Every structure is written in C-alpha cells, then in structure tokens.
C-alpha cells in the first residue's frame, strides 16, 4: 500500500509544480516548483528506505539520497531490482520507473534554473544600485511589452538607464536597441527603490494592459512619491496609460503634490496628433464636412474632438457617421455626451446593414466630404475600406479632382508602413499609381519620446494654463505653484490641451499658422486683430470651450444649482461642480456676459478675450516652461487677405 500512496503523492506534487510554473515564471514560482519536485523525489524513494522497519535511519538516508538527486549524484538504477521485486507488477513498475526517471532529470534542471534566477536577481539589484548612483535620467516600465519596447527604441542615443518591472512578454523578439543594457526586475513598479538625487529625472511608465492594475500601480506610486520633498517631486514624471476616462476621479482625489502626472489615452493622443498635423481648416473651404467611416472607439473619440475643434466662425461643420451595425456605439456616445447631439443639427448618422450599403450612402450623401477618417475593426479591414473609399471618390468624378484626404487608423507599425507606401505615385514611381491614403495611429507614433515627453500640445497646454493664471493674478505669478495647480484636475488639463490644439485653428481664421521658431521674425498677431477679427476669435474660443465640455458630458447648471453646490461639501466655493459635471457657463456666447455678472459679479468673458491677446506669449514660451518657442507665420495656402 505504501508504494501506491508514495506514487500518488509524487504524481500530485509534480502536477502542482508544473501548474505553478506554467502560470508564472517568477523566482518564487520556480522555488515553489523545485520544492514540489523535492517532495516528489523524497516520497518516491521513501518505501525503499523504510522497508526494513528502521524508520528513523530510513528517513535520513532518503533525505541524503534526495539531495544527491538534486546534484545529479544519485544512481538511477541502484534500487531498480529491489523496486521491481516489491511492486510485483510489470505495469506499476513501468509507471514507477517513468516517475523516477522524470524526477532524476527534472529536479536538477529546476534547481539550476532556480539558482540562475537568484543570481540574475542579484545582478539586477547591483545594476539598479549603479543606475541610482548615476545622475542621468532613469526610465522605469511596469511591464516589458511591445509598447514599452517602442518607447525604448525611441530613446536610442539618449544617455539614460532603463528598468523593466513586473512581467515580461516572452513572445517579444529581442532585437536591436531593445535587447541591450536594460535591467529586468520582478517587483511591482511601485515597490522599486529609486534614488531621488537632486536634478535626477525619473520617469515611470505604467502601461500594463490590465486597466485596473495600471490604475492601482499609479495610485500606489503617487502615495509613495508624495512623501518626497517638493524639490524631489519636481523631477518625477508618472505616465498612466488608459483607453478609458473613468480613472480621472481617482487621480484627482489623490495628493499629487509636485509630481508631474500624465494621463495618456492612446486613442485621444492619436486623434489630436492627427488634427494638429492635418487641421480641419485649410483656409479655403468655408464648409468642413468630416466623414467618419466606422464608429469604433477611436472614431468615437475623433468625433468628440472634431465637434469642438471645428467650432470656427464663418465655417459650417458637418459630421457624417457611416458604419455597419453602429447603433450600439452611437447610443453609447449619446449617453456620454447628450448635449452634443441635442445642440447640433449637422450630425448625420447612417447605420447600415452591409459594407455595400455603407458605400452607397457615402456615394449619395457624403460626396462633398473633405476630411475622412477610416476606423475598421482590424488594421486589414481599415486598409481595405480606405482603398474602397478612394476608388469610390475617384469613380464619382471622372476628372479625378474630388480627392479628399482619407486618414486610415492603422495601429501595427509594419502595416502602417505598407499603407504609407501606397500613399502617392512618388512612393512607388515604377507603379505610377496613387492611392493617396494617409495612415496614422501607429503605436510607434504614440509610444515615442517625442510624443510623450516632448509633445507640442502638452507644452502649449501648460503655457495656456500659465496665461490664465497670469490673467487671474493681474500680475507676475509663481510658476512653480501655478504648475502645481495645473495638475489638480484632469478635466482642466484636458481643457488646456484642447485650447492649445485650437490655437492653430484660430490663427488659420486669420490666414496664419505657427511653426517652431528659428530666430527669424514672424508675423505680429496684433496687426491682424481689428475689432471684427477680435470678436470672431473671442466667439470661436467660447464656442470651442462650450462644446469641449459638452463632449465631456458636462451640462449647464442653473443659478440655483450653483448656489446649492457652492454651499455644500461636494464643490464648496466653486462655480462649477466636477463631480456632477455641471457648469453655469455652458451657454451661448451672447448670454455669457450677463450670466457671469449675475453669478460672480463680474464679466468673465474678459478672461477668454485676454487669452486671445496672449497667444504670442503662449507660443513664445514667456514663462520658460515649454522649453520651445514658436513664431506666427502667414499661411501660404490661404486665400484670406491680410488684415491690418
């Protein structure tokens, strides 16, 4: 009976060890697997050593034999004859032999792996301590995954240290820059001990696929980093990556101190990069007709950004949403931003039953579209739809002059490059064919140092905030304290980013644009601001702000609402309520002056008017925070006349 029991325990131990190891290959899991194999090895030989009744000697002798198995010093065939006699069954003897054979091979292998992991951990710890001593930037990733390696690749040539924590994607290929000189730690990103030397820049990238885990990591990091001195916090940057906006309430309620916290929505970043690089307004057409083909998550976010980005005086914005079985997605956006649909008559929705029907709708209803974004369920579907739409527009016009830009959201870098090669005839001159498709949204575009660490929109957003701070203060400001207030509410940061993005659009209303300053003289904005143009830009700014908040789900509060939450604990002293998403100034431009005077006893329209006049300060980096200056130039493609 003892032989059967021993075999059963040994098999169970091996199975447990394999399951533990298969689930995760961390050091603790490897050690636990080695332990289960040790138990199995001990149990399988126990009947051999206690068969004569001398249990105490048998226990110790078996222990020594198991240790010999661990070091490949035990003879496999030593007890084969004895075991065969005792079992008296060829079948059970064969099973017993197989189990012993597996343990004789697996036990030393697992012990070697465990030893290697421990040594590797020690070396990683030493590397981390060396990295802490250096005074150069350190970049810490919550996982070693594809997005992390894209970002690391963009740091090529930058003198810095890289630390990977958490799990490692074992399917990734170790190619090029991403395979050299990096430290891999198994701890959670918030558990890592990093030296906070003066002026040492530290970047944490929490880009775990699990959104809840990612948020927990960030909140733990904030709690830990908030205990640092304020001077040390100035050089700490924490990036939270999420495709949802539900995190903002938790982030806003935490004590962020002077920590530079960046909440990155991949889709929103890709959309805003597109709208900045390829603006809706080109200075010629007074009508902007945007066609959103497909209504997956990216196009839903594109819709919200376009609806406020296109609030431009003397320009009519129309948005057509065309897709197959998109009713559920449309209802979701209507729920998230009800006022956007209620207050606009220029949003057309076409829920089709097939791709053929969708193409017919585009042909009949959207032939005048001059800005098209395609977002299929997969990259391949997006590419196919882009080609079909280009063919459709060309076939609709035999002169081939109806050639609206078609922007295709393609996430995979390899497919992104394939589509780029289809863009123009010049890309493949031997083919002499132009598809004129413009890909965007590659993960290599978002997960890059130029996008995340040096984004033009983020630079200008901080300057927008500082301009408002200066307006409110009516004089010089404490920039450090002002930036601290910039980090208080995510909705304010998002609003400032929207304002920054819209600067290019306002300038285009005057036939202007901006570029990075090279020291040469640009245009003087004040020369273009006669009373009519001032009023046009003031109205455009309020309309943008109004629709931005509506796209975020905010609604107008009554005067009674304002008095109620001002005197309550949920938004004490504030004229707006972030929790309820209520704001009294979500109203038309013509009503704003009287309403603000009644609620606050002053005309708040002067703030937006002052901000327009301070656009040169924002672009010129008056406060030295953006570390980049821009100059205003004439837009060469515009037909608008210069206004003096």
Q: How far is Cα 277 from Cα 450, in angstroms, rounded to an integer?
A: 14
Is 644 within a domain?
no
Q: What is the DSSP letter of 398?
A: T
Is 347 within a domain?
yes
The b/e string for 62-94 (b: 16+ C-beta within 10 A; e otherwise) is: beebbeebbeeebeeeebeeebbebbeeeeebe
Q: What is the pLDDT of residues 267-281, one digit of tens each?
A: 999 999 999 999 998
Domain range enclosing 171 = 134-264
Q: How far is Cα 624 from Cα 480, in angstroms, rounded to an integer?
A: 11
Instruction: Provide the 10 A C-beta neighbour count for residue 151.
Output: 26
Query: Mean pLDDT, the chain, as a whole number?
Result: 83
Residue 643: predicted pLDDT: 35
Q: Which two tokens stand for residue 109?
A: 């292998």
Beta bridge partners of residue 221, listed in sequence order: none
Q: Looking at 229, 245, 264, which one is the last position of a domain? A: 264
Instruction: Provide the 10 A C-beta neighbour count for residue 346.
Output: 14
Q: Looking at the structure, do residues 213 and 188 belong to the same domain, yes or no?
A: yes
Q: How far is Cα 151 from Cα 132, in angstroms, rounded to an integer?
A: 21
The b/e string for 531-559 (b: 16+ C-beta within 10 A; e otherwise) is: eebeebbbbbbbbbbbbbbbbbebbbbee
Q: Which two tokens stand for residue 223?
A: 């709690």
pLDDT at 218 > cutoff 80 = yes
Is 402 within a domain?
yes
Q: How far is Cα 299 from Cα 319, in angstroms, rounded to an integer?
A: 12
Q: Do residues 610 and 471 make contact, with C-beta atoms less than 8 angstroms apart?
A: yes
For the four alpha carbons of 480, 485, 491 and 492, in that order, the dihedral sign comes to: negative
pLDDT at 484 > cutoff 80 = yes
Is 580 within a domain?
yes
Beta bridge partners of residue 204, listed in sequence order: 140, 238
Q: Looking at the structure, do residues 257 and 380 belong to the same domain, yes or no?
A: no
| Helix-strand-coil split of the chain, %, nearest 5 | 55, 10, 35
Q: Looking at the structure, do residues 299 and 253 belong to the same domain, yes or no?
A: no
Q: Looking at the structure, do residues 225 and 111 belong to the same domain, yes or no?
A: no
Is 289 within a domain?
yes
Total of domains in the chain = 4
Q: Which two tokens stand for residue 513?
A: 């644009």
For the four alpha carbons of 505, 507, 512 and 518, in that order, the dihedral sign comes to: negative
Residue 501: predicted pLDDT: 95
Q: Which two tokens stand for residue 296?
A: 């997956």
Q: Which two tokens stand for residue 36?
A: 């289960």
Q: What is the DSSP letter of 139?
A: E
What values do phi and psi take at 584, rounded to 5? -70, -20
Q: Looking at the structure, do residues 44 and 162 belong to the same domain, yes or no?
A: no
Q: Looking at the structure, do residues 257 and 276 belong to the same domain, yes or no?
A: no
CATH code (residue 236): 3.40.50.720
Residue 642: predicted pLDDT: 38
Of 375-389, 447-461, 614-628, the one with minimum mean pLDDT is: 447-461
Residue 623: predicted pLDDT: 93
Q: What is the pLDDT of residues 542-555, one digit of tens each?
A: 999 999 999 999 99
Residue 184: half-sphere exposure toward Cβ, Cα within 13 Å: 18
Q: Do residues 385 and 374 make contact, with C-beta atoms less than 8 angstroms apart?
A: yes
What's the average model confidence in pLDDT over 459-471?
A: 93
- Whether the predicted model's global pTM rises above the 0.75 cut: yes
Q: Do residues 447 and 147 make contact, with C-beta atoms less than 8 angstroms apart?
A: yes
Q: Looking at the structure, do residues 553 and 610 belong to the same domain, yes or no?
A: yes
Instruction: State the residue for tokens 């839903």.
Output: 300
Is 128 within a domain?
no
Is 125 within a domain?
no
Q: How far is Cα 283 from Cα 511, in angstroms, rounded to an integer?
A: 6
Q: Looking at the structure, do residues 291 and 197 belong to the same domain, yes or no?
A: no
pLDDT class for 33, splitting at 50, 70, 90? confident
Residue 168: predicted pLDDT: 64
Instruction: List C-alpha distances in Å: 36 to 12, 20, 59, 75, 100.
Output: 9, 10, 18, 21, 14
DSSP letters spanning 472-506: HHTS---HHHHHHHHTS-HHHHHHHHHHHHHHHHH
**Which residues fall within 8 angstroms of residue 124, CB to CB, at 6 or more apart?**
183, 184, 185
Q: Looking at the structure, do residues 286 and 407 belong to the same domain, yes or no?
A: yes
Instruction: State the residue for tokens 């325990």.
Output: 9
Using DSSP, how many helices (H) and how many strands (E) does the chain show? 26, 16
Instruction: List C-alpha distances in Å: 490 to 221, 262, 486, 500.
Output: 17, 9, 9, 15
Q: Looking at 416, 446, 476, which one is the last position of a domain? A: 446
Q: What is the pLDDT of residues 234-252, one digit of tens each?
A: 888 899 888 766 677 788 8
Is 639 within a domain?
no
Instruction: List C-alpha distances in Å: 1 to 44, 50, 87, 366, 625.
Output: 13, 13, 10, 82, 79
Q: Looking at the structure, do residues 509 and 620 belong to the same domain, yes or no?
A: yes
Q: What is the pLDDT of residues 401-411, one digit of tens each?
A: 678 899 999 99
Q: What is the pLDDT of residues 592-622, one digit of tens each?
A: 888 888 888 888 888 889 999 999 999 999 9
Q: How far is Cα 81 from Cα 65, in angstroms, rounded to an integer?
A: 17
**Which residues fall within 8 angstroms of residue 475, CB to CB, at 6 or more apart?**
none
pLDDT at 169 > cutoff 70 = no
Q: Looking at the structure, do residues 465 and 599 belong to the same domain, yes or no?
A: yes
Question: What 3 state SS string does 234-271 have?
Answer: CCEEEEEECCCCCCHHHHHHCCCCCCEEEEECHHHHHH
Q: What is the DSSP letter of 184?
A: E
Q: Looking at 92, 120, 148, which one is the last position of a domain? A: 120
Instruction: State the residue for tokens 């649909």.
Output: 341
Q: Looking at the structure, do residues 484 and 624 belong to the same domain, yes or no?
A: yes
């Amino acid at each position: 009976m003892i032989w059967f029991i021993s075999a059963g325990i040994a098999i169970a131990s091996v199975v447990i060890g394999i399951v533990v190891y298969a689930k995760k290959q961390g050091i603790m899991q490897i050690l636990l697997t080695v332990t289960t194999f040790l138990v199995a090895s001990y149990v399988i030989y126990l009947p051999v050593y206690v068969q004569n009744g001398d249990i105490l000697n048998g226990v110790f002798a078996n222990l020594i034999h198991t240790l010999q198995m661990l070091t490949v010093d035990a003879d496999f065939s030593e007890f084969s004859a004895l075991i065969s006699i005792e079992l008296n069954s060829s079948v059970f003897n064969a099973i017993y032999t197989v189990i012993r054979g597996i343990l004789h091979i697996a036990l030393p292998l697992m012990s070697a792996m465990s030893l290697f992991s421990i040594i590797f951990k020690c070396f990683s710890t030493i590397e981390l301590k060396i990295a802490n001593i250096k005074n150069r930037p350190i970049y810490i990733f919550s996982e070693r995954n594809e997005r992390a390696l894209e970002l690391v690749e963009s740091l090529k040539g930058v003198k810095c240290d890289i630390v990977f924590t958490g799990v490692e994607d074992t399917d990734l290929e170790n190619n090029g820059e991403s395979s050299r000189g990096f430290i891999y730690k198994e701890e959670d990103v918030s558990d890592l001990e990093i030296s906070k030397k003066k002026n040492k820049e530290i970047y944490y990238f929490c880009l775990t696929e699990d959104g809840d885990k990612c948020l927990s990591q960030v909140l733990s990091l904030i709690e830990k980093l908030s205990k640092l001195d304020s001077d040390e916090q100035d050089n700490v940057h924490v990036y939270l990556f999420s495709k949802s906006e539900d995190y903002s309430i938790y982030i806003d309620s935490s004590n962020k101190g002077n920590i530079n916290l960046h909440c990155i929505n991949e889709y929103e970043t890709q959309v805003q990069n597109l709208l900045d690089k390829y603006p809706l307004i080109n200075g010629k057409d007074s009508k902007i007709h945007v066609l959103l083909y497909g209504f997956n998550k990216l196009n839903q976010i594109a819709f919200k950004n376009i609806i406020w980005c296109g609030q431009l005086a003397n320009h009519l914005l129309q948005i057509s949403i065309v897709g197959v079985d998109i009713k559920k997605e449309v209802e979701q956006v209507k729920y998230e931003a009800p006022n956007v649909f209620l207050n606009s008559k220029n949003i057309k929705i076409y829920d089709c039953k097939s791709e053929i029907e969708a193409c017919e709708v585009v042909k009949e209803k959207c032939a005048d579209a001059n800005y098209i974004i395609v977002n299929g369920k997969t990259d391949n579907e997006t590419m196919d739809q882009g080609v079909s739409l280009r063919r459709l527009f060309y076939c609709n016009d035999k002169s081939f002059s109806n050639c609206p830009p078609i922007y295709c959201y393609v996430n995979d870098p390899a497919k992104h490059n394939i589509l780029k090669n289809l863009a123009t005839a010049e890309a493949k001159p031997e083919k002499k064919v132009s598809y004129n498709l413009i890909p965007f949204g590659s993960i290599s575009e978002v997960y890059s140092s130029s996008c995340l660490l040096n984004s033009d929109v983020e630079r200008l957003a901080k300057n927008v905030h500082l301009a408002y701070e200066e307006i409110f203060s009516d004089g010089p400001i404490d920039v450090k304290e002002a930036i601290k207030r910039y980090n208080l509410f995510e909705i304010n940061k998002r609003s400032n980013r929207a304002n920054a993005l819209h600067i290019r659009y306002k300038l285009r209303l005057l036939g202007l644009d901006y570029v990075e300053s090279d020291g040469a003289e640009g245009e003087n904005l004040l020369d273009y601001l006669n009373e009519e143009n001032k009023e046009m830009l003031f109205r455009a700014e309020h309309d943008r702000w109004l629709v931005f908040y509506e796209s975020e789900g905010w609604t107008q509060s009554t005067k009674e609402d304002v008095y109620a939450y001002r005197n309550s604990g949920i938004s004490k002293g504030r004229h707006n309520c972030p929790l309820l998403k209520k704001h009294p100034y979500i109203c038309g431009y013509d009503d704003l002056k009287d309403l603000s005077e009644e609620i606050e006893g002053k005309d708040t329209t002067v703030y937006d008017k002052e901000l327009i006049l301070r656009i040169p300060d924002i672009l010129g980096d008056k406060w030295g925070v953006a570390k980049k200056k821009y100059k205003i130039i004439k837009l060469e493609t515009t037909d608008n006349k210069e206004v003096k």
